[in-house]
Amino acid sequence: MITTEQIDRWLREDIGHHDVTNQVPGETIGRLVAKEPGVAAGIDAARAVFDYLNVDVREPIGDGTAIEPGDELLSVEGAAREVLRGERVAVNLAGHASGIATRTRRVVEEARTESADVRIAATRKTTPGLRGLEKRAVVAGGGDSHRLDLSHMVMVKDNHIAEMGLEGAISHFQERTSFATKIDVEVETVGDAPRAGAAGADIILLDNMTPAETREAVDRLHEAGHDDVLAEASGGITIETVADYAATGVDIISMGSLTHSAPSLDLSFRTGV
């Protein structure tokens, strides 16, 4: 959810102490329109900006809707001064989120060429201040949010394993973790995958492996009977290589680029009749 505090901050950041160009009398209407094809996201955030300014919002489309050039994402009606004040922040939010949703959908479609059900997931590599907006945009594009913050899921990392050993680290965190929280264990060799499964991992992150290594790790997991353990591939996977990873039988492919490197979707805001 978008809070009043966030909108306060975003508007203040964009307007400054004394803006003269928006001192426009009267009422106006405005429309948020796509200039290129993609997937809509961040509509709730754009809407919240106008709600804050007491501008009426009409017919917002749902996050995840496929859009074509000329399509309207929402329209507004209200005091011209307030519409103009909100316009830039609303476009920046929706453009940023829709860019992430659009990129996610393309990656998902690419992965679908090799796997009907692999999940394409984001990471914690999000823009500071916009974690929620970006994670929801990934979901809007057909992706998986992955863990939302450090408290959501335990990731057992190489530094934990270096200190306590693989089984030791898993056991350490099982004792300290709520039943509500899953444990994802990062492994760097094919042989560690079934060991992590045996030790109680819910998910096994196959880090920086080639597709061939990934496939072997997945196979080793199945051979060891850990069918209920999820396998996740991560590390340097791009839209060019995602299908190769999808073909390995892995359950999840996580990619930081979904959130940190998606170009904004080109949207424009048109005021007046």
Q: Which stretch binds a copy of itself (CB under 8 A): 67-75, 169-177, 205-213, 239-247?
A: 169-177
By rule CB under 8 A, what string of x and - marks binding of each residue 194-233 to a copy of itself?
Answer: ---------x------------------------x-x-x-
Q: Which stretch binds a copy of itself (CB under 8 A): 178-186, 188-196, 209-217, 218-226?
A: 178-186
Catalytic residue positions?
A: 88, 125, 157, 186, 207
Question: Which residues on neighbouring strands pair with residue 205, listed in sequence order?
Answer: 186, 232
- Cβ proximity to a copy of itself, 191 vs 238, nearer residue: 238
* Torsion angle defined by CA atoms of residues 222, 224, 228 and 231, in that order, rounded to the nearest 10 degrees: -60
81 Cβ partners below 8 Å, 6+ apart?
22, 23, 24, 25
- Cβ proximity to a copy of itself, 127 vs 191, nearer residue: 127
Token pair of 40 as six digits: 């809509």
**Is there binding between residue 147 and a copy of itself (CB under 8 A)?**
yes
**Is there binding between residue 56 and a copy of itself (CB under 8 A)?**
no
47 Cβ partners below 8 Å, 6+ apart?
57, 60, 74
**Is there binding between residue 70 and a copy of itself (CB under 8 A)?**
no
By rule CB under 8 A, what string of x and - marks binding of each residue 71-110 to a copy of itself?
Answer: --------------x--xx-xxx-xx--x-----------
**Is there binding between residue 1 and a copy of itself (CB under 8 A)?**
yes
> Is residue 155 within a helix (H) or strand (E), and if so which, with residue range?
strand 154-156
CB of 221 to a copy of itself, least distance (A): 15
How many residues touch a copy of itself (CB under 8 A)? 85
**Is there binding between residue 240 and a copy of itself (CB under 8 A)?**
no
Distance of alpha carbon 201 from alpha carbon 153, whole angstroms: 12
**Is there binding between residue 116 and a copy of itself (CB under 8 A)?**
no
CA distances from 38 to 116, 197, 205, 258 (A): 22, 39, 30, 14
Q: Which stretch binds a copy of itself (CB under 8 A): 108-116, 190-198, 207-215, 252-260?
A: 252-260
- Cβ proximity to a copy of itself, 162 vs 212, nearer residue: 162
Give the one residue of 29, 61, 79, 148 binding a copy of itself; rule: CB under 8 A: 148
Decide if 49 contacts 126 (C-beta within 8 A). no
As a whole number of Å, the CA-based R_g of the chain is: 22
* Torsion angle defined by CA atoms of residues 15, 20, 21 and 26, in that order, rounded to the nearest 10 degrees: 100
CA distances from 129 to 148, 225, 256 (A): 13, 42, 16
Distance of alpha carbon 161 from alpha carbon 165, whole angstroms: 5
**Is there binding between residue 127 and a copy of itself (CB under 8 A)?**
yes
**Is there binding between residue 117 and a copy of itself (CB under 8 A)?**
no
- Cβ proximity to a copy of itself, 42 vs 194, nearer residue: 42
